[in-house]
Amino acid sequence: MQDPLIIAGREYGSRLLVGTGKYRDFAQTAEALDASGAEIVTVAIRRVNLGQNPDEPNLLDALPKGRYTLLPNTAGCYTAEDAVRTARLAREMLDTPLVKLEVIGDPRTLFPDVEQTLAAAAHRIDATYTTPYQSHNMMEPPASLARWNGDRLIVHCAVQLVEAAHKSIADTLKMPPEKVEVISEYIGGGFGGKLPVYVDAILAALAARELRRPVKVVLTRQQLFHLTTHRPASIQRVRLGAEHDGTLIALAHESYAQSARADEFSEPVVSSTRSLYAAPHRLTTERISALDLPVADSMRAPGEAIGLLSLEQAMDELAERLRMDPVELRLKNEPREDPEKKVPYSTRALVPCLQEGARRFGWDRRQAQPGQIRDGRWLVGLGIAAAIRGNFLRPAEALVRLDSAERAVVEMDMTDIGTGSYTIFAQIAAEALGFKVENIDVRLGHSSFANTPGSGGSFGASSCGAALHEACRKLKVRLDAGEGAQGLSEIGRVEPGDDYKNYSQYAYGAHFAEVGVDVATGEVRLRRMLGVFEAGRILNAKTARSQLVGGMIWGVSSALHEEAVLDTRFGSFVNNDLASYHVPVHADVPEVDAVLLDAFDRHANVLGSKGVGELGICGAGAAVADAVYNACGVRVREYPITLDKILPGLAKRSG
């Protein structure tokens, strides 16, 4: 058997599924199935006698269960309620976990009717969550220095996408691209807030031309809120339908957000929902409303960062409704393939992340009933949330030039946003060429260098690293063939291939949080936090862990602190400084640890690596929210979770 079909641990030699509804009688059915070689037979429970009618011929007499795997289906049911009831009956009659659930279709879409399936579910969650406007608020605000050399413009600026910035500046100033040079070697924080070019670069260029001297423009903290981008607020409705054992049969996640009238940006809020859990009936939608507001754009982990705040809290609510452990509920709904793309995963490591995290964190000490653990004035609770982040491969180039048989120069227009790109690329080149790391000169951030997708979206190191590895491989072949090293150079190129289409590629994690809630004031304090992650091969363990811990702290910030308050009269943010826009300080962040599991994703790229920069924030805030509920029994669905939202619930519970 070259390529067996494996279902529920059983191997099948035939991939043919045969129904029983088109034959004259059971004898002809048995004869036809024997000739087909099929091993799996679908049976319409409502149309075939399997013993429910004792005086009629029984299909099981013609098709013995030991020879065939019977797959009962609910054909003939005209409501979701009837279909679910019939499926449960089939499971009992045939003693099988396999059921093909057929629900009447929505005539508008021809897809299964999610609404009917949700209505028929034994247990349902229907909750609305809101997330606020957020500002990137990187430590270094946007800044540019421009100078002219004759008719040639050189701009030093802080941009994550150098090639895109080069094109934007040339197009805006109506200049030939070859007359513009953009330099961005280091950035003091970006988080998506420096993806586009802002007014600082353009104004510096125009002023330098008029004054005939270099000009530097730095945006103030207050200007950053209004002249750059932000994360839009969202309203998210999550509906889950599950059977008594926790199996999800329907999942719906709908998002509503704002967009500027001049720029239709839509954050992919429901992207993680499409792949995280198995559920046969699914609905995900994203809607935007054009308003007179500043332009919104991507912010660290766009989509997953706020989408998981809702989905993972809804999963916690469902676990409580089922009286089921939240970890077990997630394990129960582990998919065998991508539920929407219908392709296999390149790797799928959510289960080991959950299990290892639960072991390390001491999850077995969690009390299912909220408000059971008290430490002085603090009610103590534990929370859990899953993390998922897509692995993105983008077209990239890298140039490698040899100065000698032991020294090499790497050139790419990608920049370093504090993620350790210079170190990582030196390590990749050194390993591929067999050189010492200190003999690799990495040069980044010049628009004249080899073109890359830039630094953002967690695709930088994987995409650019793969291109760099390819350039080094070519050089190594030439060196081994006896060519002289001096001046030898190669360009490596990568782009998404068949593996990118044929496999669903994600990095995974599990967050565990412990919080204390003050019984008198409602104040929430993080006590400890653990994240366990799988992101393929880790290129540099130190920088990867730093990225993950930073993301986890950002998740805590999203859950408890961050909110840009909008003046709805004028469309401006009123708390436009770090005194009133709250982020965690050192005192807010106690013990935070990130653990990386060993892995290698051969389908992701030649390095086996996946992005880690944004994975840490994904789900982190939801773990904190779930811990808050476990501590005090107050469910807050409006982020951030501030004491004014907790106090009324505390008073009600104590009263």
Question: Would you call 645 exposed, middle or buried from its count of C-beta atoms within 10 A (0-12, 13-18, 19+)?
Answer: middle
CB atoms within 10 A of CB 119: 15
Give SS3 for 365: helix
Contacts of 324-330 spanning 24+ positions with Cβ under 8 A: 324/246, 325/368, 326/384, 326/626, 327/354, 327/355, 327/358, 327/363, 327/384, 328/246, 329/246, 330/277, 330/354, 330/384, 330/386
Contacts of 227 (CB under 8 A, 6+ apart): 198, 199, 219, 294
Phi, psi of 412 (to 5 degrees): -145, 150
Q: Which of 286, 411, 563, 614 is catalytic?
A: 614
Strands (E) across 224-300 are located at 230-231, 234-242, 248-260, 281-291
Residue 483 is among the residues annotated as catalytic for this protein = no
Distance CA 306, CA 238 (A): 13
Question: What sections of 193-272 are H helices per DSSP?
Answer: 199-211, 221-227
- The pair of structure tokens assigned to 301 is 């982990």
Strand-pairing partners, residue 609, are 536
Query: How many C-beta atoms lie closer than 10 Å to residue 549's C-beta?
Result: 17
Distance CA 144, CA 217 (A): 5
Go through the chain and tell me how many residues it has: 655
The CA distance from 350 to 534, in Å, is 8
Cβ(465)–Cβ(492) under 8 Å?
no
Q: Phi and psi (nearest 5°) for 427? A: -65, -45
- Yes or no: say if 84 and 102 are a contact pair by the CB < 8 Å rule: no
User: Both tokens of residue 50?
Assistant: 């399997």
* Structure tokens given for 139: 């430590």
- 3-state SS, 573-635, equals ECCCCCCCCCCCCHHHCCEEEEEECCCCCCCCCCCCECCCCCHHHCCHHHHHHHHHHHHHCCC
Helix-, strand-, coil-residue percentages of the chain, each rounded to 5? 30, 25, 40
- Residue 422: other Cβ atoms inside 10 A: 19
**Strand duo 180-183 + 408-412: pairing:** unpaired
Are 415 and 449 a contacting pair, CB within 8 Å? no
Q: CA 353, CA 186: separation in Å to the nearest integer?
A: 33
DSSP 35-95: HHT--EEEEETTTS-SSSSTTS--HHHHS-TTTSEEEEE-TT--SHHHHHHHHHHHHHHHT
> d(Cα 197, Cα 289) in Å, to the nearest integer?
24
The string of DSSP letters for 422-452 reads HHHHHHHHHHHHT--GGGEEEEE-BTTS---
User: 267: phi > 0 → left, psi -120 to 50 → alpha, else beta; which?
Assistant: beta
Annotated catalytic residues are: 614
